[in-house]
Amino acid sequence: MMHVHKVYHRSLSLLALSVSARSPPFSPSSLSLSPPAFLALRPFRNAFSSLKTASTMTASRFTNLVPINALAGEDNGAVSSSSSSSNTAPNGNEDESTLGVGYCLPPPEIKDIVDAPPLPALSFSPHRDTILFLKRRALPPLAELARQEEKLAGIRIDGRYNTRSRMSFYTGIGIHQLMPDGTLGPEKEVHGYPDGAKINFVTWSLDGQHLAFSIRVDDEENTSSKLRVWVADVETGNARPLFQSPNIYLNAVFDNFVWVNNSTLLVSTIPLSRGAPPSKPLVPTGPKIQSNEQKNIIQVRTFQDLLKDEHDEDLFDYYTTTQLVLASMDGTVKEIGPPAVYTSMDPSPDGKYLLISSIHRPYSFIVPCGRFPKKVDLWTTDGKFVRELCDLPLAEDIPIVSNSVRKGMRSINWRADKPSTLYWVETQDGGDAKVEVSPRDIVYTQPAEPLEREQPAILHQLDLRYGGISWCDDSLALVYESWYKTRRVRTWVVSPGSEDSSPRILFDRSSEDVYSDPGSPMLRRTPTGTYVIAKVSKENDESTYILLNGSGATPEGNIPFLDLFDINTGNKERIWQSDKEKYYETVVALMSDLKEGDLRLDQLKILTSKESKTENTQYYILIWPDKQACQITNFPHPYPQLTSLQKEMIRYQRKDGVQLTATLYLPPGYDPSKDGPLPCLIWSYPGEFKSKDAAGQVRGSPNEFAGIGPTSPLLWLARRFAILSGPTIPIIGEGNEESNDRYVEQLVASAEAAVQEVIQRGVAHPNKISVGGHSYGAFMTANLLAHAPHLFCCGIARSGAYNRTLTPFGFQNEDRTLWEATTTYVEMSPFMSANKIKKPILLIHGEEDNNPGTLTMQSDRFFNALKGHGALCRLVILPFESHGYASRESIMHVLWETDRWLQKFCVSNNSDVNADVDPTSKDDSSKGATDSKSEAAAASGGGGPEASHFECEELHPRLHCQSLATGW
């Protein structure tokens, strides 16, 4: 399955191109189940999750797409905020006594963009002949976030639904036939379910004739039903409950349901024997004790929502325990195995076996459930236990160093090209990336039911960390490995069916070198619903070709391409390329993958997207040999008031010679010669690099549509601001040098170059340049106001961390501990330089932030430090909001606060930008953030900075750990 989300929530989201029995059901978004920006087909997910920076995804163009409110786990629904007071004060001239009373609305030009109704998400059938339009609402009300949550073992559970909390939903399903000429047939509504039903986890059957989805309904008394599984006939649109019994409910905390064949689903249900939730004892049975009398070395990051006591353990068991049930369309129901905390269930491609994972006690109070003891068993689809594959112990001691992993079998999956063959990987370094050993990982394969004494076969041995496999057949598979410390990524060609064929390296490159990215193999769907590498044949040519889909990074911007690649010789032929003059086009998926054997080049059919600076994304079918494009969507512009905005990708240079890039947006109709310089908002997010050359490479395209999310800085184009979006702020550590040891110096140098560029261009008033960011961007903002106050008139910092000493075992991409890099931790912390911040700073934070490190306490204590030194500052805590903001009331208020701050301290700023700056602050802007170590000790009272690479320990290949917004 593929999930494609645009960064702006109203536009088209192409969610799935073949959601079938071998593909995960999908939901619009949920707090902990948000899909990655572009999800590669399921069997290869591990390759892509481990090689994010290697650009191994099928369409690297989609690496930045999930909207921030989706990442925060809440749906996009339009509701009024009548439950709270709403005020509009766009000019920033309010009576100070009225500030902080109720929720406020931003000016209409911003509000109207955010409130625009969302476009539907799309899902293609397995046979590519039918499209679902999955209908959505706009922003949800705060009342939905206010529902009680159970925060257990690193996840948040809505006990009323027995699923992850803050789970969004679809409001309806429309079915369209894709006609031979590329047009869409009339819409046919799925019907039969209750009015007002909330729809989740929509899944195609293997043959594309049925849909399965979950339904939940709120009754008149404002109580919520638990989730039920429904099925619908695609031909008629008729929907009905899967279970005849009204007492069978879905347990969707982990896995939910999967098609085993065209008429049977395996469903995670709430055990019928379950009673009321366990009550918390009024009097504890004893003190809470943790011990390390064995002197083990256990270093963990600042995970949140962990289990706290025995009662939490009982609650976790209560909500997560599942009874697996085989349910046929004819009403037959059969239980599989005993109740347990099942986290995944994967049918084999031939539908004969079930790969079932579960977790069990002893639980932990210091790590989330992804590290709990894990058991993987093999069952037949008729309910017979076959064998236990592994039972892994509690993993509290995974080192914090990048590329460290759990000991034992991991990434256990079915081969996509075989009926029922398993493969997995085992570490040879004990999971510790600091250990030097060769090989580091070994990939094994084995039949589901091996012969007596038959040992697993070694497929491949790797010296870097395993990153996944793309399967094709016995003659071809691609194995990926990577190493973060060196940014090295390699792709191996192996012949799984040949013992005489030696693996060979296909690509060996730096993940940072986007110019050298050859692209990723395109995948085709098999008759069993899995996905394998598509082989392509040319007439009168015996060579073995595959299709490489690449982002096409160049110094002029991304120019996506499709190459016909000879897997044996390495020769390539470019058979398609984006229009680089005006449009930005990408290859989304193969549409001609229904026949057996190799695909014929002269019969190739692909799905593409097309957009420009001012035209929103539309989708096309492209058919060979003529490559005639047929448009299949015609979605209206999501914000016509900004249709004529101006966008330019600009390049400039840092004083140390590093090339930098940014995207400059200017309001519609702006003419610098007539209008003069504008107030400017710079919004960014730093990144780490190992080389100056890689840091200076251009990423993105000047022709991409300007996506505007509900809290995007681009909203201020409607307020006549110049927006410098995403100026690169590379923090470079070449060779053995660590990037963060010169963090402040490089941060300031990058900001100085950006500010100088917009001033030189005459688009930004030098006294009216503001800076802002989210998460690590908020950390950046605070540091710039402390160390480069001469550049900015004010700052906006959202959901940030400001005291790095409070996460002593690493943060962001910093692998060293506080004790190994004390000076770095202290000097990077803007908290330590609170006395230097003289420019106005607006701090905003969700009260229920669960991102590792960015506890709400971080903003609270930073505000107190600023206030203690007389800084002009304001702190806004958003009730019920997490790391990203979701509810309409909160988002509108964030926009009001931001607009008020910008109007008051940027637009109205007529003073010299340096007037109220400590004259010594500029001179020592690159020296660090503290004068003494005692200052750090005094400040280390709580909280912790975020680790934006939140540990994604998969409980199930189809479920993904919490995707947390780290930027816009």
Q: Which of 86, 357, 775, 890 is catalytic?
A: 775
d(CA 24, CA 362): 29
**Cα→Cα distances 145→158, 264, 852, 855, 887, Å:** 10, 35, 20, 18, 7
Angle between helices 743-760 and 776-787 (to 10 degrees): 80
The length of the chain in residues reads 968
DSSP string, 593-653: --SSSPEEGGG-EEEEEEE-SSS--EEEEEETTTTEEEE---PPPS-GGGTT-EEEEEEEE
CB 12 within 8 A of CB 619: yes
3-state secondary structure of 785: helix
Is residue 883 annotated as a catalytic residue, yes or no? yes
∠ Cα 304 310 314 (to 5°): 90
Residue with tokens 């070994």: 442
Is residue 869 annotated as a catalytic residue, yes or no? no
Supply φ then ψ for residue 612, to 5 degrees.
Answer: -140, -175
CB 477 within 8 A of CB 51: no
d(CA 695, CA 283): 57
Burial 520-551 (b: 16+ CB within 10 A, else e): bbbbbbbebbbbbbbbbbeeeeeebbbbbbbb
Q: Which of 75, 417, 517, 849 is catalytic?
A: 849
Contacting residues for 541 by C-beta, under 8 A, at least 6 apart? none
β-pairing, 678-683 with 687-689? Answer: unpaired
Is residue 350 annotated as a catalytic residue, yes or no? no
Which helix (H) or strand (E) segment is 751 a member of? helix 743-760
CB 533 within 8 A of CB 546: yes
- Structure token digits, residue 893: 């208020």
Contacting residues for 305 by C-beta, under 8 A, at least 6 apart? 151, 152, 153, 154, 155, 156, 368, 850
Q: Which of 5, 9, 883, 960 is catalytic?
A: 883
Amino acid at site 454: E
**Cα→Cα distances 47→54, 117, 231, 957, Å:** 10, 36, 33, 11
**Cα→Cα distances 864→298, 779, 860, 934, Å:** 32, 16, 6, 18
SS3 annotation, 80-119? CCCCCCCCECCCCCCCHHHCCCCCCECCHHHHHHHCCCCC
Give the distance between the most distant pair of CA atoms in the chain: 84
Supply φ then ψ for residue 535, to 5 degrees.
Answer: -90, 140
**Cα→Cα distances 539→476, 570, 596, 603, Å:** 21, 19, 17, 11
β-pairing, 764-774 with 794-798? Answer: parallel
- Structure token digits, residue 99: 């500030």
Task: With CA atoms as reference, report the closest residue to 396 among 357, 375, 433, 369.
Answer: 369
CB 909 within 8 A of CB 119: no
Kindly provide the residue ranges of all beta strands, DSSP E only, lying in 429-579, ordered along the sequence: 441-447, 457-462, 465-473, 476-483, 488-494, 504-510, 520-521, 523-525, 531-533, 535-538, 541-550, 561-566, 572-577
CB 32 within 8 A of CB 73: yes
CB 727 within 8 A of CB 637: no
**Cβ-based burial of 70 (10 A; exposed 0-12, middle 13-18, buried ≥19):** buried
**Cβ-based burial of 139 (10 A; exposed 0-12, middle 13-18, buried ≥19):** buried
- Structure token digits, residue 773: 């960011």
What positions carry a catalytic annotation?
A: 775, 849, 883
